[in-house]
Amino acid sequence: MKRLIIFAFCWLACSAWGEAEVQLNKVEVATDLPTLARGAETVMTVCNGCHSLKYIHFRELAKLGVEKDKVDGWRGSNPMGTAIASQMPADAAAASFGKAPPDLSLMAKAREGEANYIYSYLLGYYTAPDGTTGNHYYPPTKMPDVLAVAGVTDPAQLAELNKKAREVTSFLVWAADPHAQERKSLGLYVLGYLLVFTTMMYFLKGRIWATLEKV
Amino acid sequence: MLNSILGWVDQRFPLTHIVKHELTDYPTPRNLSYWWNFGFLAGVVLVLQLVTGIFLAMYYKPDVNMAFDSVQHIMRDINYGWLLRYIHSTGASAFFVVIYIHMARTLYYASYHKPRELMWWTGQVIMLMIMATAFMGYLLPWGQMSYWGAQVITNLFGVTPFFGSDIVMWLRGDFSVGDATLTRFFALHYLFPFLIFGMVGIHLVALHTVKSSNPSGISLADKDNIPFHPYFTLKDLFGLGVYLIVFCSFVFFLPGMFIEPANNIPANPLVTPSHIEPEWYFLPFYAILRSIPDMLGGVVAMGLSVVIFAILPFADRSTIPGGARYRPVYRLVFLVFIADVFLLGYIGSQPPSGVLVPIGQAATLLYFATFFLLPPTSKLEERWMRSRGLPPALLTLFEQRSPRDKWSNKGGAA
Q: Note whether residue A5 is domain-resident.
A: no
The answer, yes or no, to whether residue B107 has pLDDT greater than 90, is: yes
Please tell me the predicted confidence (pLDDT) of residue B307.
96
Q: Which helix (H) or strand (E) holds A103?
A: none
Please tell me the predicted confidence (pLDDT) of residue A189.
98
Residues of B with a known catalytic role: 208, 212, 235-236, 279
**Do the chains contact at B342 and A9, CB–CB below 8 Å?**
yes
Confidence band, pLDDT 50/70/90 cuts, at residue B412: very low
- Chain centroid offset of residue B66 CA: 32
Q: How many CA atoms lie within 13 A of B188 on its CB side?
A: 19
Q: Note whether residue A149 is domain-resident.
A: yes
Please tell me the predicted confidence (pLDDT) of residue B404.
62
**Are A155 and A200 contained in the same domain?**
no
Question: What DSSP assignment string belongs to B151-198?
Answer: HHHHHHGGGSTTTHHHHHHHHHSSSSSSHHHHHHHHHHHHHHHHHHHH
Please tell me the predicted confidence (pLDDT) of residue A152.
85
Q: Tell me the per-residue pLDDT of B337-364, one tens digit each, with 9 for 90 and over.
A: 999 999 999 999 999 889 999 999 999 9
Tell me what the mean pLDDT of segment A165-180 comes to.
95
- Chain centroid offset of residue B397 CA: 31
The answer, yes or no, to whether residue B294 has pLDDT greater than 70, is: yes
Q: Note whether residue A118 is domain-resident.
A: yes
In eight-state DSSP terms, residue B20 is I
**Are A81 and A131 contained in the same domain?**
yes
Mean of all residue pLDDT scores within chain A: 87
Mean of all residue pLDDT scores within chain B: 94
Q: Tell me the per-residue pLDDT of A5-56, one tens digit each, with 9 for 90 and over.
A: 554 554 444 444 444 457 889 999 999 999 999 999 999 999 998 899 999 9
Choose the closest CB to B346 out of A12, A110, A176: A12
Burial label for B379, CB within 10 Å (0-12, 13-18, 19+), is middle
Q: Note whether residue A126 is domain-resident.
A: yes
**Are A123 and A207 contained in the same domain?**
no
Q: Which domain holds residue A84?
A: 23-178
What is the total count of domains within chain A?
2
Confidence band, pLDDT 50/70/90 cuts, at residue B157: very high
User: 3-state DSSP call for residue B225?
Assistant: strand
Length of chain B: 414
Q: Note whether residue A78 is domain-resident.
A: yes
Tell me what the mean pLDDT of segment B311-335 comes to.
95
Q: Tell me the per-residue pLDDT of A116-151, one tens digit each, with 9 for 90 and over.
A: 999 999 999 998 888 888 898 998 888 888 888 888
**Are A43 and A148 contained in the same domain?**
yes
**Are A66 and A165 contained in the same domain?**
yes
CA distance A80 to A88: 20
**Are A164 and A213 contained in the same domain?**
no
Q: Note whether residue A8 is domain-resident.
A: no
Q: Note whether residue A15 is domain-resident.
A: no
Q: Tell me the per-residue pLDDT of B221-280, one tens digit each, with 9 for 90 and over.
A: 888 899 999 999 999 999 999 999 999 999 999 999 989 999 999 999 999 998 888 999
**Are A162 and A186 contained in the same domain?**
no
**Are A104 and A204 contained in the same domain?**
no
**Are A110 and A213 contained in the same domain?**
no
**Do the chains contact at B238 and A201, CB–CB below 8 Å?**
yes
Question: CATH code at A60?
Answer: 1.10.760.10
Q: Which helix (H) or strand (E) holds B227?
A: strand B225-227
**Are A171 and A185 contained in the same domain?**
no
Q: Note whether residue A13 is domain-resident.
A: no
Tell me what the mean pLDDT of segment B72-85 comes to.
96
Question: ipTM for the complex?
Answer: 0.90
A105 close to A175: Cβ distance less than 8 angstroms: yes
Chain A interface with B: residues with Cβ < 8 Å: 1, 4-5, 8-9, 12, 15-16, 55, 102, 105-106, 109-112, 114, 176-179, 183-184, 186-188, 190-191, 194-195, 197-198, 201-202, 204-205, 208-209, 212, 215
Confidence band, pLDDT 50/70/90 cuts, at residue A4: very low
CA distance B178 to A177: 28
**Are A174 and A194 contained in the same domain?**
no
pTM > 0.80: yes
User: 3-state DSSP call for residue B58?
Assistant: coil
**Are A42 and A147 contained in the same domain?**
yes
